[in-house]
Amino acid sequence: MSDGSGDRENSGNTWRKATQLVRGGMARSAFQETSEALYLTSGYVYGSPEEAEAAFKGETKRYIYSRYANPTVSMFEQRLALLEGAAFCVGMASGMAAMFAAIACQVKAGDRVVASRALFGSCNYVLTELLPKYGVETVLVDGTDLDQWRDALKKPTVCVFMETPSNPTLEIIDIAAVSELAHAAGARVIVDNVFATAVLQSPLKLGADIVMYSATKHIDGQGRTMGGAILFDDEAYMKDFLEPFFRHTGPSMSPFNAWVMLKGLETLDIRVDRHCDNAERVAAFLAAQPRINKVIYPGLASHPQHALAKRQMGRGGTMVSFEVDGGKAGAFAFLKALKLIDISNNLGDSKSLTTHPTTTTHQRLSEEDRLDLGITPGLVRLSVGLEDAEDIKDDLGQALAAVG
Ligand SMILES: *Cc1c(COP(=O)(O)O)cnc(C)c1O
């Protein structure tokens, strides 16, 4: 495909990460625009019926229909693929579209899926309610316990799904160790890398087969649009499973959203780094507060998998969870007293956002399951934003004073 960029074209493979994030995947039109063009088109025209025939037979590679592919979405996919170091990237309408497609495209009735039990609420629904309806058996294990993985993976398994760090208790799963066990059971390993981001963690390099993102979170990074992505190296997974699935079921990414996400990718590394700076300072501050029973942050030495987190992730991440004294009443009094930090279930935003998992994202679970996962009534999840860390700390401090 001609992109008009002439001999300045560079696929980006030889560039360093920061350069890839700004320029990777750029395909200029004949107008030589500086910024990525937004192609708001559902279809594409053919010069002749022969050209259309050849395109549908797959003899020529070109854009056919935006449910299959779109030039703006392709630029997003190429840029993210460069960052991840993956051969393939497929943009999706949302993180959940990505999660569902990544699994649903490869399983059939009678198959088995093993997953970690500490999951984003909707991922839990897909695994424990939706897939069983189609005759797929799903087994949940404590992701931090390798013996449970070993046990569950004694039987042939098609696919393994895990989220690390997990939502909202920030458990860390050993991607390399679980991948080894999963491969012995014949399973493809999918990692939901939303909390870590591609900047901090590279699951494919640790042995996973497929990485998925909610681009809605850190990739957009400013809370504007929904999006998702699936990344992998295996061409057979693309040809035999994912490509036919997404072409015919239509979880495609909107070109407008891809255009916003391309802008997000340009600053992803800088933002994630600053989010981590702030999260480290906020976690240390909270750990010293008398009205906080517990602080969960992978970058703190007190985190149960701190050593693994250090090995597997570049830094401690952008999320901090903590237990406010006084259960639900204490947590609610604290949330109501916040003046700067917003109450919102979104995360990875430039604005600091906080949520009460027991009554929102995880209210669907039974109380027993929640407590089993460490989601206590006093637990609060904080997505640390890009404001001045001193202002975030001041707001947390004044709100905690109100709890007493
Ligand atoms: C938000 C999120 C999802 C779902 O993404 P959407 O874009 O909201 O559909 C999946 N997994 C994790 C860990 C998330 O935080």
Looking at CATH, the fold of the domain delimited by 8-265 is given as: Aspartate Aminotransferase; domain 2 (3.40.640)
CA of 214 to the centre of ligand 1 (A): 5
What is the distance in A from the centroid of ligand 1 to the CA of 95? 5
Ligand 1 site residues (CB inside 6 A) read 94-96, 99, 120, 122-123, 163, 167, 192, 194-195, 214, 216-217, 226, 228
Q: Is the pLDDT of residue 178 over 80?
A: yes
Ligand 1 atom at shortest distance from the alpha carbon of 227: 7
Q: Which atom of ligand 1 is nearest to the CA of 119?
A: 13
Measured in Å, residue 33 CA sits from the centre of ligand 1 at: 33
Residue range(s) in the chain whose domain bears CATH number 3.40.640.10: 8-265
Residue 39: count of CB within 10 angstroms of its CB: 19
Residue 11: what pLDDT?
65
What tens digit of pLDDT does each residue of 119-153 get? 988 999 999 999 999 999 999 999 999 999 999 99
C-alpha torsion sign, points 302, 144, 134, 369: negative
Distance 387 CA to ligand 1 centre (A): 23
Residue 7 has pLDDT above 70, yes or no: no
Cβ neighbour number for residue 183 with a 10 Å cutoff = 15
**Ligand 1 mean position, distance from CA 38 (Å):** 25
Using pLDDT thresholds of 50, 70 and 90, give the confidence band for residue 284: very high
Give the Å distance between the CA of 99 and the centre of ligand 1. 8
Distance in angstroms (rounded) separating the CA atoms of residues 277 and 389: 8
pLDDT tens track for 165-175: 999 999 999 99
Q: 3-class DSSP state for residue 255? A: helix
Q: What is the pLDDT of residue 1?
A: 34
Q: Hey, which of 116, 167, 349 would you mutate to test ligand 1's pocket, going by the most ligand atoms within 8 Å of its Cβ?
A: 167
First-to-final CA distance of the chain: 65
Cis amide leading into 165 (omega within 30): yes
203-246, pLDDT tens digit by residue?
A: 999 999 999 999 999 999 999 999 999 999 999 999 999 999 99
Q: Which residue CA neighbors atom 1 of ligand 1 most closely?
A: 214
Looking at domain 268-400, its CATH architecture is Alpha-Beta Complex (3.90)
Give the pLDDT band (50/70/90) at residue 12: confident
Which residues lie closer than 8 Å to 148 by C-beta, 6 or more apart? 141, 142
- 81-102: per-residue pLDDT in tens? 999 999 999 999 999 999 999 9
Residue range(s) of every CATH 3.90.1150.10 domain in the chain: 268-400
Cα separation, 130 vs 104, in Å, equals 10
> Which of 162, 200, 214, when mutated, tests ligand 1's pocket best, judged by the most ligand atoms within 8 Å of its CB?
214
